[in-house]
Amino acid sequence: MSSPLESPSISGRASDSASVGSPDSAARAPDGREAGPAQLALLLAGSCLAVLGAVLIAPVLPKMEDHFAGIAGADVLVPIVLTVPALIIGLTAPFAGVVIDALDRKRLLLAALVVYAIAGTAPLYLDSLGAIIASRAVVGLCEAAIMTCCTTLIADYWSGPRRSRYLGLQTLAATLAATVFLALGGALGAAGWRTPFWVYAVALLLVVPMAKLLWQPAAGPKPKKLPSLPWRELLVPCLITLVGGVVFYALIVQLSFVLDDLGVTSSAAIGGVSAAMSLATAAGSASFARLSRQRPRTLLPIAFGLAAVGLAVVFAAPNVPVVTVGAMITGAGTGLLLPVLLTWATNRLRFEQRGRGTGLWTGFLFVGEFASPLLVAGFGAAAGGLQPGLGVLAAVSAVLAVIALLVVPRTAAPLNVTS
């Protein structure tokens, strides 16, 4: 049975600005400009901002906890400063998608960048831990809008193999940015726990060039009522993305603890292993450009299978070199996983559906990422330690590889075939 995502009722129309012309076309602005490297660079840079909330302040959490040591529950509340943006992204990205489809992609993006800079730098002068957590929730809300807008505009501006390639580049850029921001946060943290929050002001540097170089795609008159989403076709990719987010985020959070359990105390050594995993993740993301001719039924088992093998190696690893190998195999799998899931979920949506579909996918991903440390902790408690807990997650990844073979339609289009 063919997927309804391939039927005329769901596929793109001639009015969809991302699909006018050849199957590998780029959209044009009202003044005739064609989307090119400048637009891509801005959208990739905007996509990287969501990574700030996840990693930038991780190195200064101990100093922050010391600062608020006199507050009851600080040991619980301080880590929430790091994790609350991911939860808010997961809860609000689908609503951001509704706003994007109903109103305007570009205006929402610009507004979110300004508020992001204000809320992101707020801990520089806030003295209340509760107020800081509230500001971080606003950061998460803005990240949901920024991430959804940037991803949707990439899908609007390009089609065919270029769209697939650029969505893979988005994951690659975010992965490399995570490595840079983690190191930057540690370096700036030497001057105090508040100092890394200055980095959030970088969002203001994007506002003017985005205002000048981006445009709201034109796809005919705005409908009085938005067309419904193909819920049945989106549900399977989004549910797999939910668990994929757990797998993707597991070693990002847990790798330093695994190394600590093996007696590694050097920050440089931990950073080196983390960097090796990040590079492998980047390589996995980069490979998507060449592999996008394949169908999701082929690529998802490969991605989850690599993650399963890598996590199993980490589970059984007796020393740091073996952990490094396992982490790199896992990174290669998860680096491929995200662009496959994103492209599969959103590729065949119409212009009027794309913002909501992208927001829904983003929400499922970040809820999975938020839940990842909690689930791994639960697995570890049941299995007798962190490494055994990662072994359980390896088994879950292997099961997902099999499930992907069973639930993804054989007729699902290759990932580089777009609306």
pLDDT digits (tens, 9 = 90+) for 291-334: 878 888 889 999 999 999 999 999 999 999 999 999 999 999 99
For residue 9, pLDDT beyond 50: no
Query: Would you call 263 helix, strand, or coil by DSSP?
Result: coil
Model pTM score = 0.76
For residue 284, pLDDT beyond 80: yes
Element (H, E) at 291: helix 267-291
> What percent of the chain has a predicted confidence (pLDDT) above 70?
88
In the prediction, which pLDDT does 210 show?
95
Nearest-CA neighbor of 369 among 86, 85, 142?
86
In the prediction, which pLDDT does 15 show?
39
Structure token digits, residue 159: 């089609």
Q: What is the average pLDDT value for the chain, to the nearest integer? A: 82
In the prediction, which pLDDT does 16 show?
46
In the prediction, which pLDDT does 348 show?
75
| Domains defined along the chain, listed by start | 29-217 (1.20.1250.20), 227-414 (1.20.1250.20)
Contact between residue 98 and residue 356 where contact means Cβ atoms under 8 Å apart = yes
Judge residue 325's burial from the number of C-beta atoms within 10 Å of its C-beta, 0-12 exposed, 13-18 middle, 19 or more buried.
middle
Structure token digits, residue 117: 């800079």
Q: Which residues contact 246 (CB under 8 A, 6 or more apart)?
A: 368, 369, 371, 372, 375, 376, 393, 396
User: Measured between alpha carbons, how far is 361 from 358 in angstroms, rounded to an integer?
Assistant: 5
Query: Would you call 28 helix, strand, or coil by DSSP?
Result: strand
Nearest-CA neighbor of 315 among 302, 304, 325, 305?
325
> What percent of the chain has a predicted confidence (pLDDT) above 90?
32
For residue 4, pLDDT beyond 50: no
In the prediction, which pLDDT does 3 show?
37
Partnered with residue 158 across adjacent β-strands are 26
3-state secondary structure 158-215: ECHHHHHHHHHHHHHHHHHHHHHHHHHHHHHHCCCCCHHHHHHHHHHHHHHHHHHHCC
pLDDT band at 8 (very low <50, low <70, confident <90, very high): very low
Taking the CA atoms of residue 352, residue 224, residue 115 and residue 139 in that order, the dihedral angle to the nearest 10 degrees is -60
